[in-house]
Structure 1
Amino acid sequence: MRPTMKDVASAAGVALKTVSRVVNGEPGVHPGTAERVRAAIDLLGYSRNESASVLRRGRTSTVGLVIEDVADPFYAALSRAVEDVTTGYGCLLLSGSSSEEPARERELVRTFCARRVDGLIVVPAGDDHSYLRPELDAGTPAVFVDRPPGPGVDVDTVLSDNAGGAGLAARHLVARGHSRIAFLGDEPSIFTASRRLHGYRAALGHLYDERLVAMRAPSLEGVRADLDRLLALDRPPTALFTGNGRLTVTALRVLGGRPAPALVGFDDFELADLLVPGVTVVAQDPAGMGRVAAELLFRRLHGDTGPSEHPLLPVRLIPRGSGELPP
């Protein structure tokens, strides 16, 4: 038979309320008494009934996280940071990948809510989040990260300075003498891709040439076709700015064996510093984004009802050689 809290109280020679305080981490128990209770818990193999606890507190001690792809190093770092914060608050993290599909995002969020998660952290795939309104109205807090929610949903949102980072990359290349700077970006409908295009265009000013821009989902075939077109122009680019880590790695594969243009990529990636030359990048802080988002969520769970917050995390340029090549 599974041991009960009453069994622990009997074994430790204390009142039932004392065991409850120790199990729930409440103050007011003498250290020696608490140690005796924990020894009885270990001896009996007692574990508290979380289902009963949920019924008493109205909480499940779980958080739902929706990201784009757990295999992507950026989202893996973000997810781990969220998990570390969640665990620190004594909660369990449930997570799933949307694969950049709005329907999958909605399905995951609804599944988490059906399991009565206490709160949600969402990297959105779509731009319609009206489906979340019933959950928000019912008091389930949500924090969006990396991209904002769609119109009509005002919740805490943690973003990187995408436009500022793209401007850093473009100005860095211009300062090295480049005036023909191409941009390979992701789908223009994606918030981060559009913001990076905006920052690149604003930084170039009169040097901007729309013929040097290509935006589509990253693929080997697509990047090869775009680079073939760009390098065949009458005035081809002497520098290339890639809008995310997958595009940077794919462009490096395509350019292998060719005379390479100067290159700056948005997002750092593993082994970027070991290539020859090392790849100059604009680095985000995905772990920082995850920590800030999770801490915001737990502030809401602990009663903060202030206006929604929209922190913008800084990025930094890391010169390694590829972005410093002359025209």
Structure 2
Amino acid sequence: MKHVASLAGVGIKTVSRVMNDEPGVSEDTRQRVLRATEQLNYELDMAAGSLRRTGRATASIGLLLPSVSNPFSAEIHRALEDALAERGIAVFAASLDDDAERERKLVSAFMRRRVDGLILTTIARSQAYLAPELARNMPLVFIDREPMGIDADAIVVDNAEGAAAATRHLIAHGHRNIAFLGDRTDIQTARERRRGFLEELGRAGVATVDVPIRSGCHDENAARQAVVELLASDNPPTAIFASQNLVTFGVLRALREAGASKRVALVGFDDFPLADLLDPGVTVIAQHPDRIGALAAERILARIDGDRSEPRTYIVPTELIARGSGEIHSNQ
């Protein structure tokens, strides 16, 4: 705040009034202060007063997830809470909703509350806006999606290889007409899963030009409608690869409604509760979000404790779990 006051040519109290949106400041002065805050990348620190009094960190972590209601995100959240609770660290979680503007606003909100570190799943094309935080040694760990524009620790899975494993499995059961149902193409993981799927088809000698691909299936309803249309087409697929759990839910609903659950093979990316109790059980590529969360906790704690080693990307292996739906043989 002293630096802002000096650059704007005003007193510290004036800066405080502007940042707290209090009256008694001319518009010209207000704009000078705001320009100074932008130049210095200054944000009002809501916890600064208490920190000066206690001399301690806030014992809190900001966690940004695609949606806290998604089972995959929820398992990561729980694993982080379990690991960080041992150090008395609270986890503040927020949903990104795969919205770039929302991403930056939530990160800013976390920073204003002076969290001790950030664990982030991101959607913006670049996270270079976090470079000032890295320069101040703010601990950052990215999960599920690697950061762009900065170097920081990341905990991910090999999405392309996981998708390739699912595709190989379906091909091994005689399928050549395999539909791909994917998430939005601006999502890094969705692009990688599509790439792994198509490359594996190519390696198996399956022409990819006419492969039924439906992208933009960001929720269960969109996936269900896509399957309804595919099944009604002139050349319906004999198998489906669903690229994330919400897509899998929509596929399951559509197949059941069409009476095709035991005729059309299915492999989903992401495991989910009760997948083994359906008929047939759902074959999945499991990402093990509990392991992702535990490793993210390990890395953020290491950074908080002063680890200044070069950032690394850690890859958590996926696992194909066969339960029945992916083992349905092609009838063509």
Shared fold per TM-score greater than 0.5: yes
For 2:110, what is the secondary structure of its paired residue? helix
What letter matches 2:287 in structure 1?
Q
1:54–1:60 CA contact under 8 A, matched in 2: no
What letter matches 2:292 in structure 1?
M
1:63 aligned to 2:61? yes
2:181–2:217 CA contact under 8 A, matched in 1: no
Paired with 2:225 and 2:320, the residues of 1 have a C-alpha distance of 28
1:260-283 per-residue CA deviation (whole Å, 9 max, x = no partner) reads 411111111122111111111111
Structure 1 runs of 4+ with >4 Å offset: 51-58
Number of residue pairs the alignment of both structures matches: 277
How much does 1:254 deviate?
Answer: 1.3
What letter matches 2:260 in structure 1?
P
CA RMSD for the aligned pairs? 1.9
How much does 1:166 deviate?
Answer: 0.6
| Aligned pair partner of 1:183 in 164, 180, 183 | 180
1:306 aligned to 2:300? no
Change (3 A) 1:209 1:237: farther
How much does 1:149 deviate?
Answer: 1.3
Paired with 2:225 and 2:67, the residues of 1 have a C-alpha distance of 25
Q: Please show how residues 95-174 of structure 1 align to structure 2 within 5 Å.
A: 95-150=93-148, 152-174=149-171
Change (3 A) 1:258 1:89: same
2:265–2:325 CA contact under 8 A, matched in 1: yes
1:265-312 per-residue CA deviation (whole Å, 9 max, x = no partner) reads 111112211111111111111111011111111111111111101011
1:233-283 per-residue CA deviation (whole Å, 9 max, x = no partner) reads 443311111001111111111122332411111111122111111111111
How much does 1:130 deviate?
Answer: 2.3
1:324 aligned to 2:321? no
Report the identity percentage.
Answer: 42
Change (3 A) 1:55 1:160: farther
For 1:84, what is the secondary structure of its paired residue? helix
Rg: which structure is higher?
Answer: 1
2:63–2:92 CA contact under 8 A, matched in 1: yes
Paired with 2:128 and 2:233, the residues of 1 have a C-alpha distance of 45
Paired with 1:92 and 1:229, the residues of 2 have a C-alpha distance of 46
Paired with 2:52 and 2:173, the residues of 1 have a C-alpha distance of 60
What letter matches 1:250 in structure 2?
G
How much does 1:58 deviate?
Answer: 5.0
Q: Please show how residues 30-109 of structure 1 align to structure 2 within 5 Å.
A: 55=53, 57=55, 59-109=57-107
1:287 aligned to 2:284? no
Change (3 A) 1:88 1:318: same
| Aligned pair partner of 1:269 in 264, 267, 272 | 272
- Structure 2 unmatched ranges of 5 or more: 1-48
Paired with 2:107 and 2:310, the residues of 1 have a C-alpha distance of 23
How much does 1:57 deviate?
Answer: 4.3
Paired with 2:139 and 2:76, the residues of 1 have a C-alpha distance of 19
2:228–2:254 CA contact under 8 A, matched in 1: no
For 1:311, what is the secondary structure of its paired residue? strand
Paired with 1:176 and 1:309, the residues of 2 have a C-alpha distance of 38
What letter matches 2:58 in structure 1?
T
| Aligned pair partner of 1:192 in 186, 189, 193 | 189
1:82–1:290 CA contact under 8 A, matched in 2: yes
What letter matches 1:65 in structure 2?
L
| Aligned pair partner of 2:318 in 301, 315, 318 | 315
Paired with 1:139 and 1:219, the residues of 2 have a C-alpha distance of 37
How much does 1:73 deviate?
Answer: 0.8
What letter matches 1:239 in structure 2?
A
In structure 2, the residue matched to 1:238 is 238
Paired with 1:280 and 1:123, the residues of 2 have a C-alpha distance of 26
Paired with 1:80 and 1:259, the residues of 2 have a C-alpha distance of 35
1:147–1:159 CA contact under 8 A, matched in 2: yes
Change (3 A) 1:93 1:238: same
What letter matches 1:127 in structure 2?
R
Paired with 1:74 and 1:224, the residues of 2 have a C-alpha distance of 20
